[in-house]
Amino acid sequence: MREIKLALSYDDVLLVPKRSKINSRGEVDLGWGVGKMKFSLPIIAINMDAVTGVEMAIAMGKLGGLAILPRFDKSKIQAEKIVKIKKAGVAAAGAIGVTAGEWERLEMMVKAGVDHVSIDVAHGQMDKVLQLVKKIRKTYPGLSLSAGVVGTYRGAKDLFLAGVDVVRVGVGPGTICTTRIMTGCGVPQITAVMEASRAAREMKKMVWADGGTKNSGDIVKGLAAGASAVIVGSQLAGTDEASGKMRIVSGKQYKEYNASTSFTEKKNQLKNNGGGKSKYYVKHIEGVESLVPYKGAVEGVVSRLMAGVRSGFSYCGARNIGELWEKREFIRITGAGMREGGAHDVIV
């Protein structure tokens, strides 16, 4: 019988503090880049209808980050959104799928001036994804391209060999994702990112940690595990710029945050762009509908997150993401250690 390996998630580990020559958080450089694009913010707004639209993409771009438009609009509408984002003077990114009609979506976004395209599927290590990557790379050799999601070294290596610049890592870690429950498949995120990043270092490319972060500390852990940036959803979903609808519950403000694979969103996807989808489309549910507290402008949320991230780098003695990869030292913790790490034994 083959040995069952241990895999670890964000809450299973902590980073060991190291001797640091950093005098202030302002000395930490969080910059990264892919192709000709350079960013000062290592977080990416996820391609979900409840999070990213034109407003979020422009706001994140002006803050030094990136946002990826979802693939659930008609191709023409998605291309029109790319044009609006480009007019604001920031990088524009959009997702595509692998079903019939997605090549037209790709072509329309390219004509609209898209800067980055992300192949967005639940299981990135499928032959049809790899074939699409090869076709895109042959047709558009200079296009900045990411694909995913995967959770292993081999999954990342296959996508890199096919031709992507970036691999998205994260099978089922998202706060509203139920993939692991529905399918029994997935890899806890710290292990997944560390394994995929081994392939990235070999190929001189990069990975993005996709999903599962709850706070700035998790973002630091995702970067330390080997990611160049972290894709976030729930932490941005409650902002003014997020696309989710505002709701009032017991006098408190919330915004809707529905998984792209939830029943509600799948019904919306059929309504907005039902071409090529089978009658069983709404039966394949791997996410839930939820609410998140209203948080105000995305600039304030990002500012608070980055303050924590910069502090995390300084605790590790790292001035940039490359140094964080070199100096990181993870330790495993128990449930008691996790409890000890938060506020406890007081009335909050």
- Please give the positions annotated as active site: 177
71/27 Cα distance (integer angstroms): 38
Residue 27 DSSP class: G
Phi, psi angle pair for 117, to nearest 5°: -120, 135
Largest distance between two CA atoms of the chain: 60
Give DSSP secondary structure letters for 299-322. HHHHHHHHHHHHHHHHHTT-SSHH
Please say whether the beta carbons of 169 and 196 come within 8 A: yes
* Cβ-contact 109, 73 below 8 angstroms: no
Alpha-carbon distance of 186 to 171, in angstroms, equals 5
Phi, psi of 290 (to 5 degrees): -150, 175
Which residue bears the tokens 């595990």? Answer: 225
For residue 299, give both structure tokens: 């600039």
Q: CA-based angle 19:11:313, to the nearest 5?
A: 30
Burial class (CB in 10 A: 0-12, 13-18, 19+), 9: middle
Identify the burial level of 348 via C-beta atoms within 10 angstroms of its C-beta, where 0-12 means exposed, 13-18 middle and 19 or more buried. exposed
Separation CA 316–CA 318 (nearest Å): 5
Residues 94, 145 contacting (CB under 8 angstroms)? no
Residues 6 or more apart in contact with residue 180 via CB below 8 angstroms: 171, 172, 186
**CA-CA distance, 84 to 289, in Å (whole number)?**
29
Residue 140 DSSP SS3: coil
Tokens 């890899």 -> residue: 187
289: exposed, middle or buried (C-beta count within 10 Å: 0-12, 13-18, 19+)? middle
